[in-house]
Structure 1
Amino acid sequence: MARLGISVYPEHSSMEEIQEYIRLAARYGFKRIFSCLLSVGERSREEIIEEYSKMIAAAHEHGMEVILDVAPFVFERLGITYKDLSFFTALNVDGIRLDEGFDGLKESLMSYNKERLKIEINASFGNGYIANIMSHYPNKDGLITCHNFYPQKYTGLSLKHFNHCNEDIKKQGLKIAAFVSSQKRDTFGPWPVNEGLCTLEMHRELPIDVQVRHLFATRQVDDVIIANAFASEEELRICSMIDPALLTFSIDFEKELNPTEYKVIYEHEHFVRGDMSEYMARSTMPRVTYAAESVPAANTRDLKRGDVIVINDNYSRYKGELQIILKDMPNDGRRNVVGRIPDNESMLLDYIQPWIPFAFMKKD
């Protein structure tokens, strides 16, 4: 089941702030936490256990899983070996994410750890790294993957590389997590850079709900984690409203909806008709449900890609049908343009396929 997550950084904020953030995120249904040991500096094992254990205890109290980001240099500095992960047992953490890899064999052996920790592999390195690990017959039940986030502007993954990585990982039957970025001012991550913390570069300036809806629209991502802290309550709330299973759009309205249009858009289930046209995606069942109701003609301008329309009374057999326009076309007056898919989520139109269920998001 798809999950939402947050990130916390104990070395950069007070435990009181972190605990309050955990409580808030849990209230909105968030289920996992990412944190980082890559920037712990010269702190001792005992200091790390004392500091991080409080955060982890708070997370577990609210039913949230905690994965800590580590790398070979962290193992070396803290005296940890791939054969003995008991340090993480002392922390009571649920798993570790390997930001940098070992040699493939070690990752495989770690997946059989007696501590039952999840081993999370970096999903952004491409198929060669994952294939190397899989060639050593890891315990797939103990193995998951998670992409990087990228603090530096213009360094995030391209969608092409992201898709390529995910396709190969999914062939192995492994779960995938990826990061989105809060747009709240004064958020932070593990490093002193504040240019957003996203996996995909195309997401860096987008509203957080658009980022989340896009990742779920790929049908490749299982968990979506907000990488920077602390996201606003409104961001947590709007993310919690997203159904991971549905391709979900918002609408910039051009007209006041009449009662039937409102019910067609928000109260009826939608799926794309199987015999899909190149010009539009059709949701035809509303015309059956609301056959006895009126849709007066209004705002019948010519149609552009991304328009959301409801057929009006002048097309009686099809009145009440909802369509998303995929290719510019003239309007003969029988289609009401209720609004448009916002430009900043136009990429979601690329995920429309025959039979795919979809919905529209109310943000108020």
Structure 2
Amino acid sequence: MHELGISVYPEKENLEETYHYMALAAHYGYTRIFTCLLSVDESKEKIMKDFKAFMDKAHELGFKVAVDTNQRVFKHLGANYDDLSPFKEMGVDIIRLDESFGFDGDVTITHNPEHIMIEFNASMNPGVDVLIKGGANVNQMTVCHNFFPERYSGLDWQFFNQMNTFWKSLNLHTAAFVSSQEKDTHGPWNVFCGLPTCEDMRNLPIDLQGRYYFATGLVDDVIIGNAFASEEELKALASIARDQVTLKMDEEKTITDIEKAIVYDYTPHWTRFDASSYFLRSSMVRLLYKDQSIPYVPYEKDHFSKGDVLIVNDNLAHYRGELEIALRDIPNDGERNCVGHIKEEELGLLDYIHPGYHFKILKEQ
């Protein structure tokens, strides 16, 4: 199951504004909150009081809450790896460990009788596999990536996927951060360049970041790292499909109504299991259009390129109506009409449409 989340930092925000943001996110179906105790410089009593009220509000709205911690936070609150009662008193659902308690401590904390989930850093391997082999309770373990406030410091995309493949081999639930593009957003520190997990995602529209993460099939939950995302962004991220790859294209001016129906209205498009290296093929759609005319439309280039969206025309009537997306250069032999082009920043999504996978091309409003 995939969940969406937001991040809030109550000690840095107007509480009324924070609660309004939480309610707005809940309205769009968000169910996770990340917050940080590392940056809170208050007495134990004030932290316990303020965060208890915050947790109560979050639970009232249907959220589960993860708090970022380290040993200093534990000591300040009077907690230890074998005593999580202060966190239980506050109502914490997930404790994210920013550092290790050592092998024995990390194994012990996963068996806590308070049944608080323990979240490990997914952006590196702190020996979680060794903990599991050593008796850690996998049913109270989860992993979440870091976010990276400093520009150019985010994870490499290939490394990100390698790490998530590793976590999935351990059957662990994964989460990662995307970044709002709103101006004047903030995180726990005084750095304001967004808060993504992957550097390549930092400047992309928030829905596209989410679509990349879900396309990999390796990320369970997506959390907005910085606050506050706009309502438009909350809505956009909430609207994406989480069980198939979705793409946006720039239309050719010559696209016809029939071709628009093939591209946008037929569902589901799915790639043939007997896959070609030249293009993705959605073949079943042609059964609807085998008896309709799709005239040849001249195209200015003598070849098609990766990301070109093609529909077979009357010159190859047996396959008329089939939708194809070019994966490499293909000669333009007059048998296909070019109806659009997958947007440049979305071409990488094509790598995640494997044989037999469903996909959808989204019509832009």
- Shorter chain as denominator, the TM-score bin is over 0.9
* Residue-by-residue CA offset, 1:114-141 (whole Å, 9 max, x unaligned): 1111111111112x52223223211111
Contact 2:187 2:225 in 1 (8 A): yes
Across the two proteins, how many residue pairs are aligned to each other?
A: 362
Between the aligned partners of 1:58 and 1:290, the Cα distance in structure 2 is 54
Q: Percent identity?
A: 45
Instruction: State the secondary structure of the residue aligned to 2:175.
Output: strand
1:91 aligns to what?
90
Instruction: State the secondary structure of the residue aligned to 2:314.
Output: coil
Residue pairs, 1:8-23, within 5 angstroms: 8-23=8-23
Contact 1:216 1:222 in 2 (8 A): yes
2:361 aligns to what?
360
Between the aligned partners of 1:205 and 1:247, the Cα distance in structure 2 is 20
* Residue-by-residue CA offset, 1:286-330 (whole Å, 9 max, x unaligned): 101232333333353431101111222332111111111000112
Matched, 1:158 2:156: yes
Residue pairs, 1:59-78, within 5 angstroms: 59-78=58-77
1:247 aligns to what?
245
Amino acid at match of 1:39: S
Instruction: State the secondary structure of the residue aligned to 2:149.
Output: coil
Between the aligned partners of 2:104 and 2:304, the Cα distance in structure 1 is 56
Deviates more, 1:88-97 or 1:226-235: 88-97
Between the aligned partners of 1:59 and 1:11, the Cα distance in structure 2 is 15
Amino acid at match of 2:141: L
2:341 aligns to what?
340
* Residue-by-residue CA offset, 1:39-75 (whole Å, 9 max, x unaligned): 002x112211222223322221221111111111211
2:131 aligns to what?
133
Between the aligned partners of 1:242 and 1:299, the Cα distance in structure 2 is 34
Between the aligned partners of 1:207 and 1:320, the Cα distance in structure 2 is 32
Matched, 1:114 2:113: yes
Runs (4+) of structure 1 exceeding 4 A deviation are: none
2:313 aligns to what?
312
Which residue among 171, 178, 181 is the counterpart of 2:179? 181
With over 3 angstroms needed to count, the CA separation of the structure-2 counterparts of 1:38 and 1:311, relative to structure 1, is same
Residue pairs, 1:117-266, within 5 angstroms: 117-126=116-125, 128-255=126-253, 257-266=255-264
Amino acid at match of 2:88: T
TM-score (norm 1): 0.95
Contact 1:18 1:55 in 2 (8 A): no
Contact 1:250 1:342 in 2 (8 A): yes
Amino acid at match of 1:23: A
Contact 1:238 1:363 in 2 (8 A): no
Contact 1:299 1:338 in 2 (8 A): no
With over 3 angstroms needed to count, the CA separation of the structure-2 counterparts of 1:76 and 1:33, relative to structure 1, is same
TM-score (norm 2): 0.95
Between the aligned partners of 1:239 and 1:276, the Cα distance in structure 2 is 31
Between the aligned partners of 1:363 and 1:5, the Cα distance in structure 2 is 25
Pairwise CA RMSD = 1.5
2:32 aligns to what?
32
Contact 2:70 2:98 in 1 (8 A): yes
2:291 aligns to what?
292
Between the aligned partners of 1:258 and 1:54, the Cα distance in structure 2 is 57
Matched, 1:58 2:65: no
Between the aligned partners of 1:314 and 1:76, the Cα distance in structure 2 is 75
Instruction: State the secondary structure of the residue aligned to 1:294.
Output: coil
Instruction: State the secondary structure of the residue aligned to 1:96.
Output: strand
Contact 2:274 2:355 in 1 (8 A): yes
Contact 1:187 1:230 in 2 (8 A): yes
Contact 2:3 2:220 in 1 (8 A): yes
With over 3 angstroms needed to count, the CA separation of the structure-2 counterparts of 1:256 and 1:62, relative to structure 1, is farther
1:329 aligns to what?
330
* Residue-by-residue CA offset, 1:191-232 (whole Å, 9 max, x unaligned): 000111111111111111111111111111100000000011
Instruction: State the secondary structure of the residue aligned to 2:295.
Output: coil
